[in-house]
Amino acid sequence: MLSRPAMLLGGLLLGVATMIAAQRRGPEAAAQHQVHLVQSGPCSYTFVLPDPQPCPPGDPRSPDSLQRDVSPAAPSASLGAWRAQRVQQLEKALENSTLRLQKLERYIQMNLRSKLAWAQQHMVQNQTAAMLELGSNLLNETVARTSNVEAKVLNETSRVEVQMMETSLSTDELQKQLLQQSNELHRLQGRSSALETRLQALETQQQEDLASLREEKEQLRRLLGSHGGALAVLERSLRLASSNSSRLQMQQRQLLELVQRLVHVMAQGPGGSAAGERTAPMRAPEQVFQDCAEIHRSGATADGVYTIRVTNVSEPKKVFCGMESNGGGWTIIQRRVDGSEDFQRSWKEYKEGFGNPAGEYWLGNEAVHQLTSRATYSLRVELQDWEGQEAYAQYERFQLGSEAQLYRISLSGYNGSVGRQTGLFLQSANFSTRDADNDNCVCKCAQLMSGGWWFDACGLSNLNGAYYQNGQHLRRMDGVRWQYFRGPGYSLRATRMMIRPVGG
C-alpha cells in the first residue's frame, strides 16, 4: 500500500501528465477532463482527470481486464476465489500504474524541468533588466540629487568659510580692542588709586580747614556780637558822611566855577574887556548822575553808553544803561556778547573794572559796592543760549560788601524763568579770582572753572567763565554757565547783569 504523500504525488503527476497529453491532442481532448481538488492540512492540490469512458468489452482472460461482479446468487466458495483473484488483478494493475507513473515522472523531469528552468531564466532576465533599469533611473536621480546637494553643500561651506573669516577678523579686532581697553583700564585704575589717595588727603585737609574755619567763625560771631551795635552806628555815620561829602564836593565845584568866573569878570574891568571882547556868558553847572536810574529820571530813554560818577570812586565810569526794557533805568554791571573781552583777570582788575561798555565789560566790584551801599538795589540777570532762547533771574534785594568783606554778595527775593531754584548762592558767598581764592572748596574754583565769581564751593553758575563759540559750547564746565538754564555743561551765548534802586 502506498502512503498518503505518495498517493498525492502520484495524483499530481498524473494530473500534469494528463494536461500535457490533452494539450498535445488538442483543445477537444482537453475539454473532456475533470478538475478535482484534494485538501491535505493547510495545503490544497488540484488534479485534472479525464472524464470516465464506457469500458469496451474486453477479454476476460486479458491481464489488464477486470471481471464483472458475480451475482449474489454465486456460491460462497466461488466468492472467495473471485475475491482473491480480484485482489491479484488489482495489485497487478497498481504495479503497472506505478511503472507508468515512474515513466511519467522521468518524462516530466526531463521535459518540464528544462521549460521551468527556461521560464525562470527568462523571468530572472526580465526582472534583472527591469531592476537594472530601475536601478539606473535611481542612480541617475541619486546622482542629480547628489550634485544638487553637493553644490548646496559647497555654497554653504563657502558661505560658512567667509563668515568664519569675517568672524575671525572681528574676533581679532575685538581682541585688540579688548587688549587696548584692558591697558586703558589698568592705567585708569592706577590713576584712580592715585586720585583716591589725593582725595583722601584733600578730605583730611578739608576737614581740618573746616574745623579751623568753624572755630574762626565762632570767634568772629562772638566778636561781631560784642561790637554789632557799634558797627551799626558807625555804618550809619559813614553813610551820612558819604552823602554829606558828596553834596559838599558838588557845592565846592559849583563855588569854584563861580569864583573863577567872577575873577575873570573883574579882570576885564567895569566897561568890558581890555581887548574889546564881550564877556562869555556863565554856564550852568554840569549835572552829575550816580547811576542810570537818575539818568532815566532826567529824561533819557534810549539804550546806550553814559557817564556816571560813583561816590568814593575817583574817576567817572562809563556804563551801558538799559533804558528801553523792564521799566528802564538799569545800570549794566556785566555784559557778555561775543567773547571779544578776556575775563581771566586778577583781583585788582575785577575791583576797578575792565572792558568796553559798548561791548563786553565788568563795571567793577568797588563801584557796585558803593552803589549798593547808599541805597537798596535789585539785581536782574538775563541769559541767552545759542538757539535763541532767553531767560532771566531777578532778586529783589542785592548788596555787595566792601573789599575788606571780600565783596561778599547778599541776595533775597528770587523769581525768574530759569527754574524754581536760583543759580546764585543765596546764603552769601565771597568773590574769588585766579590770584585770590576765597571760596569754600580746597580745589580753587577760580582756577578750575576760570574767571572771577562768587563760587562758594564752585557753585551752580559762572557768567565770567571762558567764552566758547557755537559748536564748541557743549560739555564745558568752565564756560559761561547757569546750571538751571541749559545745564551745567552748556556755555551760553550772551549774558548781562544789571541793577536798579528798588522803587526807582
pLDDT tens string 164-209:
887 878 888 888 888 888 888 888 888 778 887 877 888 788 788 7
Question: How would residue 285 be classed by pLDDT, with cut points 50, 70 and 90?
Answer: very low
Cβ atoms of 337 and 359 closer than 8 Å: yes
Q: What share of the chain is helix, strand, coil (3-state, %, to 5)?
A: 50, 15, 35
Decide if pLDDT at 331 tops 90.
Answer: yes
What value does the mean pLDDT take over residues 430-455?
A: 91
Enumerate domains of the chain plus CATH numbers.
292-501 (3.90.215.10)
Least confident of 38-52, 78-92, 221-235, 409-423: 38-52
User: Whole-number mean pLDDT of the chain?
Assistant: 78
Cβ atoms of 324 and 338 closer than 8 Å: no
Strand partners, 330: 322
Cβ atoms of 409 and 438 closer than 8 Å: no
The answer to whether the pTM exceeds 0.75 is: no
Query: What's the grid cell of residue 458?
Result: 564752585
Query: What's the grid cell of residue 467?
Result: 567764552
- Looking at residue 167, its pLDDT comes to 80
- Looking at residue 2, its pLDDT comes to 46
Residue type, 423: G
Question: How would residue 141 be classed by pLDDT, with cut points 50, 70 and 90?
Answer: confident
Strand partners, 397: 412
What value does the mean pLDDT take over residues 119-130?
A: 77
61-65, 214-218, 242-246, 440-444: range with highest mean pLDDT: 440-444
Distance CA 76, CA 340 (A): 170
Residue 111: CB atoms within 10 Å: 11
Query: What's the grid cell of residue 92?
Result: 497487478
Distance CA 16, CA 46 (A): 10
364-406 confidence digits (pLDDT tens): 999 999 999 999 999 999 999 999 999 999 999 999 999 999 9
Alpha-carbon torsion (80, 85, 90, 92), positive or negative: positive
Please tell me whether residue 105 adopts helix, strand or coil conformation: helix
245-254, 276-285, 440-449: range with highest mean pLDDT: 440-449
Nearest to 430 by CA among 452, 451, 398, 413: 452
Please tell me whether residue 362 adopts helix, strand or coil conformation: strand
User: Which ranges constitute the DSSP H helices of 291-396?
Assistant: 292-297, 347-352, 365-374
- Looking at residue 241, its pLDDT comes to 59
Distance CA 211, CA 156 (A): 76
Strand partners, 384: 390, 494
12-50 confidence digits (pLDDT tens): 555 555 555 555 555 444 444 455 555 555 555 555 555
CB burial readout 268-298, b (16+ within 10 A) else e: eeeeeeeeeeeeeeeeeeeeebbbbbbbbee
> Which phi and psi angles does 39 have, rounded to 5°?
-100, 125
Least confident of 206-215, 310-319, 438-447: 206-215
Question: How would residue 277 be classed by pLDDT, with cut points 50, 70 and 90?
Answer: very low
- Looking at residue 274, its pLDDT comes to 38
- Looking at residue 264, its pLDDT comes to 62
Detail the DSSP E strand segments found in 401-490.
Answer: 409-416, 461-462, 481-482
Strand partners, 336: 495
